Amino acid sequence: MAMGFSLYLFLLFVHLALCCSWIQGQTLPRKTTSDVNQVSGKSFDYIIVGGGTAGCPLAATLSEKFSVLLVERGGSPYENPLIMENKNFGLSIVQTDEYTSVAQSFVSKDGVSNLRGRVLGGGSAINGGFFSRASEDYVKRVGWNKDMVSDAYMWVESRNAFKPKLTPWDYVAELSLLEAGIFPYNGFSLDHIEGTKIGATIYDEQGRRHTSADLLTAGNPNNITLLLNATVTSIIFHKKGNRNETIVRGIRFIKSDGSSSQTHEAYLNTQNNSRSSTGDVILAAGALGSPQILLLSGIGPQKHLNKFDIPVAVNLKCVGKGMQDNPAIAFVPEVADSKPKNFPPDSPKVIAIADDFKLIVGSMILPISFNATIMLISGKLAFPESEGQLELNSTDPRQNPSVTFNYLATEKDMAECVKLGRLLEQIVRSKSIAYFLGVEGKRRNESMSTDDELRKLCKNNVGTFYHYHGGCTMGSVVDKNYRVFGVEGLRVIDGSTFLESPGTNPMATLLMLGRYQGIKILQEREKMLKH
Ligand SMILES: Cc1cc2nc3c(=O)[nH]c(=O)nc-3n(C[C@H](O)[C@H](O)[C@H](O)COP(=O)(O)OP(=O)(O)OC[C@H]3O[C@@H](n4cnc5c(N)ncnc54)[C@H](O)[C@@H]3O)c2cc1C
Ligand SMILES: *[C@@H]1O[C@H](CO)[C@@H](O)[C@H](O)[C@H]1NC(C)=O
Ligand SMILES: *[C@@H]1O[C@H](CO)[C@@H](O)[C@H](O)[C@H]1NC(C)=O
Ligand SMILES: *[C@@H]1O[C@H](CO)[C@@H](O)[C@H](O)[C@H]1NC(C)=O
Ligand SMILES: *[C@@H]1O[C@H](CO)[C@@H](O)[C@H](O)[C@H]1NC(C)=O
Ligand SMILES: *[C@@H]1O[C@H](CO)[C@@H](O)[C@H](O)[C@H]1NC(C)=O
Ligand SMILES: *[C@@H]1O[C@H](CO)[C@@H](O)[C@H](O)[C@H]1NC(C)=O
Ligand SMILES: *[C@@H]1O[C@H](CO)[C@@H](O)[C@H](O)[C@H]1NC(C)=O
């Protein structure tokens, strides 16, 4: 034991001495850096853009056989207690700034405030941590291989999913869902099944968050070069004479802090001086980031690219189309004056899947500032029809593109929202909640809202569960293997490829997707070698 320890110290010393400029972090790959010069001009088998929810498991999986460059615009989550500790749940999204906060805010053209992760771990570093698999029906609809999907979920769950400990409020919320008639009661389950259930969480028993970044060491971390605090600006194509081809050569990137306008490049390894690489550049920059990078690279609708003087590489009309966000509404239950107003933050753990999977409802206690929280009974439409689009608003990759979701634009969505409102009202007025919050006496006399009132509420108060997706949807921007149409050596693997959200909260499915597609790429390469 003692010998093992001193050997370890010795190795650590050598390690530090050899690469003093790499950032040291127990859980990060050895070759992690924020110094763009250490990566500039280098070549890799695969380049992944975005160290988010899908990007990290994908990088880990490809690293089992290949060298991988993973570029993330934000920093490491590990030193940030607002991200890592359950007692600080929600605090990382309370304050945002334009270029450095780990949560980047954006307001869609619909006027709804929204958020994106800007840190290694992406959405999984700032989200509610609620972990639930997609339904079998969804897996079938997308056309995924059921067994590979199941293996990939298990690979993720063995590291990142935990059974939560319920707080008194969670128990009350659970009772209120059952009181509203959302049955059966399924207890703790990873599956997306009708009724009321307790889902898994990425916070462990000690209250520590396990973001997707924890997966980076699950492959061969020595094959991963992780570049943090660098923003990818565009994709580089090979040139033939003075013509640009649509064969991908690499990526361009800048420092995220804006301290220098200098652009750097990294490349894909090629074989025998041919133009083709066997690896790919893979975008995993999320539903806003991936379509944005395609557009900045000249892959998108010609008319739109012309507006920004971006030379057209591929006139791919559907880039930025099919943007969806699940409309959400929330009620704040009344709390008696005699009760304390500020409950501690409480991440979502109990959820109800109602009305033939169309409505998802749950509860959480969210900070609204560093010293105040709000208790919410909220719900979303699982499968809205309404969709919108994403367009560039600037050629600066550090700025948000402009997005419209067209929440509740169709009558069907509006009618479902009214249903959701009625259900939420029933839950908020349940005996369980009224008793817990000391308003039992007041409860019975209040009449329920009318349809008209609920329509107004939906129209004026529609919000988000942050499950937005689309922009590089399968079938119009990428094929079944997530390859971008009309370009060689380019894929997109993240929430931008979803035609619909997995019904439930999407994080678990995006973690799974990174692993699943990584395995498929490894298998594809193995087949190629045999031929
Ligand atoms: C506040 C909030 C709460 C949520 N709660 C839950 C929940 O409880 N359960 C659940 O299942 N889902 C939840 N979600 C949704 C879920 O987290 C997201 O759907 C999911 O994380 C998206 O994964 P992704 O891989 O598509 O993108 P992301 O995880 O967003 O990854 C994209 C990554 O790319 C990086 N990037 C973007 N552009 C560039 C660029 N140009 N160069 C370099 N890097 C770039 C980003 O910084 C980011 O790290 C929540 C989301 C939010 C925002
Ligand atoms: C990746 O790791 C494997 C296993 O350690 C090793 O055999 C392989 O050479 C590495 N590949 C590259 C390209 O670094
Ligand atoms: C990376 O960026 C984050 C966020 O702006 C910052 O906190 C961190 O210090 C940066 N890291 C380095 C090594 O520059
Ligand atoms: C080729 O690509 C470069 C950079 O992307 C661009 O500056 C140039 O205008 C393109 N040329 C053509 C002919 O499209
Ligand atoms: C590269 O060249 C070597 C030796 O000339 C040859 O054996 C190999 O098949 C070539 N590989 C490819 C992918 O063309
Ligand atoms: C919360 O903090 C703000 C400033 O950060 C302060 O103005 C306010 O009085 C505080 N409220 C409570 C209830 O402590
Ligand atoms: C687009 O950019 C302009 C100027 O930078 C800004 O005023 C505007 O709010 C942006 N629009 C959107 C939708 O982001
Ligand atoms: C409820 O209504 C009844 C009859 O209208 C009234 O007597 C009673 O005071 C009301 N209770 C509360 C708590 O408002």
Region 212-240: mean pLDDT is 96
CA of 75 to the centre of ligand 3 (A): 5
What are 314's strand-pairing partners?
A: 299
Q: Which pLDDT score, from 0 to 100, does residue 277 have?
A: 75
Query: Is the pTM value of this prediction over 0.85?
Result: yes
Q: Which pLDDT score, from 0 to 100, does residue 276 have?
A: 73
Tell whether the model's pLDDT for residue 4 goes beyond 90.
no
Work out the number of other CB atoms within 10 angstroms of the CB of residue 460: 8
Answer for the pair 91, 345: CB distance below 8 angstroms, yes or no.
Answer: yes
Say if ligand 8 is within 6 A of residue 4 CB. no
For residue range 28-73, list pLDDT tens digits in order.
999 999 999 999 999 999 999 999 999 999 999 999 999 999 999 9
Ligand nearest to the CA of 305: 4
Q: Which ligand 7 atom sits closest to the C-alpha of 403?
A: 13
Q: Which pLDDT score, from 0 to 100, does residue 446 have?
A: 75
Tokens 């009181």 label which residue? 179
By most ligand atoms within 8 Å of CB, the mutation choice from 22, 34, 227, 254 for ligand 3 is 34
Task: Kindly report the protein residue whose alpha carbon is nearest to atom 5 of ligand 5.
Answer: 272
Tell whether the model's pLDDT for residue 13 goes beyond 80.
no
CA dist., res. 82 & res. 223, Å (int): 30
What are 246's strand-pairing partners?
A: none
Backbone phi and psi for residue 468, each to the nearest 5 degrees, phi listed first = -60, 150
Say if ligand 6 is within 6 A of residue 371 CB. yes
Tell whether the model's pLDDT for residue 22 goes beyond 50.
no
Closest to 196 measured CA to CA, from 426, 375, 362: 362
Ligand nearest to the CA of 369: 6
By most ligand atoms within 8 Å of CB, the mutation choice from 22, 229, 253, 256 for ligand 3 is 229
CA dist., res. 60 & res. 219, Å (int): 5
Q: Which pLDDT score, from 0 to 100, does residue 441 have?
A: 76
Longest dimension (CA), the chain: 81
What are 235's strand-pairing partners?
A: 251
In eight-state DSSP terms, residue 37 is G
Q: Which pLDDT score, from 0 to 100, does residue 444 have?
A: 62
For residue range 402-453, list pLDDT tens digits in order.
999 999 999 999 999 999 999 999 999 999 999 999 998 776 667 899 999 9
CA of 104 to the centre of ligand 7 (A): 15
* pLDDT tier for residue 1 given thresholds of 50, 70 and 90: very low
For residue range 263-315, list pLDDT tens digits in order.
999 999 998 767 777 899 999 999 999 999 999 999 999 999 999 999 999 99
Q: Which pLDDT score, from 0 to 100, does residue 21 have?
A: 44
Backbone phi and psi for residue 88, each to the nearest 5 degrees, phi listed first = -100, 15
Q: What is the mean pLDDT of the chain?
A: 93
All domains of the chain in start order, with CATH? 32-162+203-323+388-407+468-531 (3.50.50.60), 165-198+327-381+408-461 (3.30.410.40)
CA dist., res. 22 & res. 209, Å (int): 24
Tell whether the model's pLDDT for residue 12 goes beyond 80.
no
CA dist., res. 163 & res. 200, Å (int): 5
By most ligand atoms within 8 Å of CB, the mutation choice from 95, 369, 374 for ligand 6 is 369
Parallel, antiparallel or unpaired: strands 43-44 and 46-49: unpaired
Is residue 304 part of the annotated active site? The answer reads no
SS (H, E, C) 75-119: CCCCCCHHHHEHHHCCHHHCCCCCCCCCEEEEECCCCCEEEEECC
**Burial letters for 498-515: b for 16+ Cβ neighbours within 10 Å, e otherwise?**
bebbbbbbbbbbbbbbbb
For residue range 392-413, list pLDDT tens digits in order.
999 999 999 999 999 999 999 9
Q: Which ligand 4 atom sits closest to the C-alpha of 236?
A: 5
